[in-house]
């Protein structure tokens, strides 16, 4: 299934690499990735789309939430949104 | 880097040094002192020289303040390994044996990359470390400077978190925050990469304040404050009271959460037998009648049969990894109900779907469940199950060839165990000797068993023992090592004698990579590619003597075993014992890759419940 995640990220050195690296290390292929500023200059919004089943999605949401620079991970399409 | 907001200073007491001018390096050392760090493991080099100098001056000043001669007493002892990997495993051994954060300090480039293995190892086993790396100056970053390595990228992929401090004003809060991150939630290693110019920047010490990390702290608070409501407790006990054969599957989380006493209390109240993972050994007294000892690939036959037979599993700080649940669908096949408690939400249902779970601190969860069950007068009737478990232990005990003319490795561990009785700290390398130690030692309390569980890193044992001895100076510390594993960090033998540590090193020498040979026998028709070391020339006893071991011996005969072990353990100082063991000794039981516990091979000396079916699907890809 196709999923879109919205991630609020602290603008720290290497933060984007850590998000991308997590997806790569756990074997999830990112289809599209967009990084945009927010009203807070210390925070960026990542919009990321990928293909995976629901079990994998739950796991990737939980693993992404373990990244220290991640402020929030939302999956607007499902109730799994945090 | 944008300036993150500082967390409000909640302490009313001002730090006595607040407002003092300090260099970045001095700030780092002062924060370490404030965190109670009394020993550092590390190796110096160009990009970290200011920090090492600040440690030297800190110790000299403390010694003067305490009225000692300068060489007498060091407030923050610096332990120098042969290789930075050694420093990392020393810090990890210190952390595992004490429960405190282990600290390592290394230089940029090769110093930092030598630290990658212990950082990843500590991440995989949830061990709290703070690693401070020197980095080339901020202006040189990205220029392929001398001894530059992309530490933030490399470590970011294997640490719990990594900070690259490019703004000196953030240094103090960052180092303090690293400790909070390392020890909170699911513990892990945190790397702080500090460019040399940041170490040399003139700063004003604040004495308090951490980085905001709003996302992490919000999630941490939610997990730490999670409690079990009445409905949660009722749901778990409903299932437990219906179960006839309930079992606890206890992992390393019991130790990380300091929950062993709470587990004891829960078992005393409700009588569930306990099987323990490799990381959980010591979380429950293995000499207890309800202890099933190790489960999994090389678990005891009785633990694995109990898992086959149980109808209820309570997983505590355990993650159904592939050494336990190699085939998740076949793990605990008769369990009607699986419950899981973990501090990490990502572990719930990651491998095995569970019917009940709680994400929160394990000690509080167990205390709450015990109190709730007792208050409701719940008492599972488990006499038949207890009898069944006792019969499994009686019928399928660990055993080996007791009549062999060759020294059996199991007998060596048993002989040591007769002296130590679960009270010594034991570290290991990785391989057969590691599994024999796990199987044949008694484990009576947490933080006595130090092994590289998830990464399975050869070379862990010796430096981990060194770190543990610094954490527990009065404890007997024994490194049970393999001839191949110990070679990986053999340089640290000298570290043992340099610091006068009374560590006992025993090498079970089977002339090669025994565990690799065991798999080659099983799955590669006995072709021992690269695992035989019979042409190797090293004389381990001479090597130990050369490094200053006052007691170093080789044991070859069965009749020497008892007296030599007694002398070895009684020696007052560093001692080294090489035991030439039966090179064909195997690790049994064994649940092969792709097999279920029912298909476990038990070898010639452990009674099997049924003739194990040979598994056509068995492959070696999981080694
Ligand atoms: C750093 C590292 N390299 C390779 C391996 C793969 N490996 C696992 S066990 C083993 C053999 C270990 O030999 P030894 O230390 O002598 O222990 P034994 O099995 O003989 O008791 C090897 C090579 C590993 N676990 N770690
Ligand atoms: Mg060996």
Range B227-395 has CATH code 3.40.50.1220: yes
Residue whose CA is at the smallest distance from ligand 1 atom 5: B458
Residues of A in contact with B1 (CB under 8 A): 11-13
Which chain B residue lies closest to A17 (C-alpha atoms)? B153
Q: In the CATH hierarchy, which fold is given to the domain comprising B409-580?
A: Rossmann fold (3.40.50)
The finding on whether B587 has its CB within 6 A of some atom of ligand 1 is no
Look at residue B601 and tell me whether its pLDDT is greater than 80: yes
Average pLDDT estimate for B576-591: 98
Model confidence pLDDT, tens digit, residues B19-38 = 999 999 999 999 999 999 99
Instruction: List the domain boundaries for chain A.
Output: 2-81
- The torsion defined by the Cα of B111, B495, B416 and B561, in degrees rounded to 10, comes to 120
In the annotation, is B270 catalytic?
no
Alpha-carbon distance B348 to nearest alpha carbon in chain A (angstroms): 9
Ligand 1 test: best mutation among B124, B323, B458, most atoms within 8 Å of CB? B458
Q: Do B465 and B450 contact (CB within 8 A), yes or no?
A: yes
For this structure, is B379 an active site residue?
no
B621 or B345: which carries more pLDDT confidence?
Answer: B345
Q: Does the CB atom of residue B514 touch ligand 1 within 6 A? A: yes
Minimal CA separation from B6 to chain A, in Å = 13
Report whether pLDDT(A82) > 50. Answer: no
Residue B603, token pair as written in the block: 């070898």
CA dihedral B99, B319, B123, B456 (to 10 degrees): 100
- B338-352 residue pLDDT tens: 999 999 999 999 999
Q: Is the CB of B513 under 6 A from ligand 1?
A: yes
3-state secondary structure (DSSP) of residue A8:
strand
| Tens-digit pLDDT profile for residues B95-107 | 999 999 999 999 9
| Residue A48 distance to chain B (closest CA, Å) | 19
Where are chain B's structural domains? 21-223, 227-395, 409-580
Is the separation of the CB atoms in B477 and B98 below 8 Å?
no
Token representation of residue B554: 């080789």
The question of whether B196 is a catalytic residue gets the answer yes
Say if residue B8's pLDDT is above 50: no
Phi-psi region of B198 (alpha: psi -120 to 50; beta: other; left: phi over 0): alpha
What residues contact B394, with CB distance under 8 A and at least 6 apart? Answer: none
pLDDT band with cut points at 50, 70 and 90 for residue B3: very low
| pLDDT over 50 (residue A56) | yes
The domain made up of B21-223 has a fold known as Rossmann fold (3.40.50)
- Of B90, B398, B488, B515, the catalytic one is B515
Pick the CATH number of A2-81 from 1.20.1050.10, 3.30.70.260, 3.40.630.30, 3.40.50.300: 3.30.70.260
Write down the pTM of the prediction.
Answer: 0.95
Contact B215 A71 (CB under 8 A): yes
- pLDDT tens readout for residues B262-287: 999 999 999 999 999 999 999 999 99
The span from the CA of B426 to the CA of B566, in Å, is 16
Cα dihedral sign for B290, B293, B294, B299?
A: negative
Q: Which positions in chain A have a beta carbon within 8 angstroms of at least one beta carbon in chain B?
A: 8, 10-14, 17-18, 21, 25, 41-42, 58-59, 62-63, 65-66, 68-72
Report percent pLDDT > 90 for chain B.
94
Closest residue in chain B to residue A12, using alpha carbons only: B1
Q: Is residue B611's pLDDT more than 70?
A: no
* Residues B133/B108, Cβ–Cβ less than 8 Å: yes
Whether B156 sits inside 8 A of A18 (CB atoms) is yes
Q: What is the pLDDT of residue A76?
A: 82
């Amino acid at each position: 299934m196709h999923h879109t995640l919205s991630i609020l990220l602290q603008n720290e050195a290497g933060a984007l690499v850590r998000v991308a690296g997590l997806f790569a290390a756990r074997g999830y292929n990112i289809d599209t990735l967009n990084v945009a500023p927010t009203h807070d200059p210390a925070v960026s919004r990542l919009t990321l789309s990928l293909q995976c089943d629901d079990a994998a999605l739950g796991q990737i949401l939980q693993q992404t939430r373990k990244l220290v620079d991640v402020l929030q991970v939302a999956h607007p399409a499902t109730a799994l949104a945090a | 880097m944008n300036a993150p907001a500082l967390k409000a200073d909640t302490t009313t007491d001002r730090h006595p040094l607040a407002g003092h001018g300090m260099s970045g390096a001095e700030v780092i050392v002062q924060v370490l002192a404030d965190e109670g760090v009394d020993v550092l493991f590390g190796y110096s080099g160009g990009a970290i020289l200011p920090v090492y100098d600040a440690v030297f001056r800190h110790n000299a000043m403390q010694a003067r303040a305490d009225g000692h001669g300068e060489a007498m007493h060091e407030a923050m002892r610096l332990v120098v390994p042969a290789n930075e990997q050694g420093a990392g495993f020393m810090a990890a051994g210190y952390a595992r044996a004490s429960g405190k954060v282990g600290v390592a300090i290394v230089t940029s480039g090769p110093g930092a990359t030598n630290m990658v293995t212990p950082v990843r190892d500590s991440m995989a086993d949830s061990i709290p470390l703070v690693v401070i790396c020197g980095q080339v100056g901020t202006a040189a970053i990205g220029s392929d400077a001398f001894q530059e390595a992309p530490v933030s990228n490399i470590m970011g992929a294997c640490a719990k978190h990594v900070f690259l401090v490019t703004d000196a004003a953030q240094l103090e809060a960052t180092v303090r925050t690293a400790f909070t991150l390392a020890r909170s939630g699911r513990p892990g290693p945190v790397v702080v990469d500090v460019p040399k110019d940041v170490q040399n920047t003139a700063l004003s010490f604040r004495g308090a304040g951490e980085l905001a990390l709003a996302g992490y702290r919000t999630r941490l608070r939610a997990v730490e404050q999670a409690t079990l409501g009445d409905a949660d407790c009722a749901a778990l006990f409903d299932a437990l009271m219906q179960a006839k054969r309930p079992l606890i599957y206890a992992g390393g989380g019991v130790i990380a959460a300091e929950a062993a006493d709470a587990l004891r209390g829960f078992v005393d109240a409700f009588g569930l037998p306990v099987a323990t993972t490799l990381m959980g050994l010591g979380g429950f007294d293995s000499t207890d009648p309800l202890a099933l000892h190790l489960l999994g690939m090389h678990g005891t036959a009785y633990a694995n049969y109990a898992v086959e037979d149980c109808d209820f599993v309570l997983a505590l700080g355990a993650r159904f990894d592939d050494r336990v649940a190699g085939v998740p669908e076949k793990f605990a096949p008769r369990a009607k109900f699986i419950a899981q408690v973990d501090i990490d939400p990502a572990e719930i249902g990651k491998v095995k779907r569970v019917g009940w779970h709680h994400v929160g601190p394990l000690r509080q969860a167990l205390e709450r469940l015990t109190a709730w069950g007792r208050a409701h007068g719940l008492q599972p009737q488990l006499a038949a199950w207890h009898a069944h478990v006792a019969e499994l232990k009686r019928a399928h005990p660990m055993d080996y060839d007791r009549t062999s003319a060759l020294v059996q490795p199991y007998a060596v561990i048993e002989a040591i165990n007769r002296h130590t009785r679960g009270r010594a700290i034991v570290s290991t390398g990785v391989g057969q000797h590691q599994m024999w130690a796990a199987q044949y030692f008694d484990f009576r309390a947490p933080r006595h068993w130090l092994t590289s569980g998830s990464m399975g890193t050869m070379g862990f044992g010796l430096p981990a023992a060194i770190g543990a001895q610094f954490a527990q100076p009065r404890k007997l510390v024994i490194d049970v090592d393999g001839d191949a594993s110990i070679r990986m960090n053999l340089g640290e033998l000298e570290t043992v004698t340099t610091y006068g540590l009374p560590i006992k090193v025993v090498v079970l020498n089977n002339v090669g990579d025994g565990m690799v040979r065991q798999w080659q026998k099983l799955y590669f028709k006995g072709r021992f590619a690269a695992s035989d070391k019979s042409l190797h020339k090293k004389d381990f006893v001479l090597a130990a003597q050369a490094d200053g071991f006052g007691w170093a011996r080789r044991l070859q005969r069965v009749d020497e075993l008892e007296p030599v072990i007694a002398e070895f353990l009684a020696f007052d100082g560093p001692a080294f014992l090489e035991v030439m063991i039966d090179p064909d000794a195997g690790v049994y039981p064994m649940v092969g890759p792709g097999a279920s516990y029912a298909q476990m091979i038990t070898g010639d000396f452990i009674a099997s419940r049924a003739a194990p079916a040979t598994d056509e699907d068995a492959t070696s890809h999981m080694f």
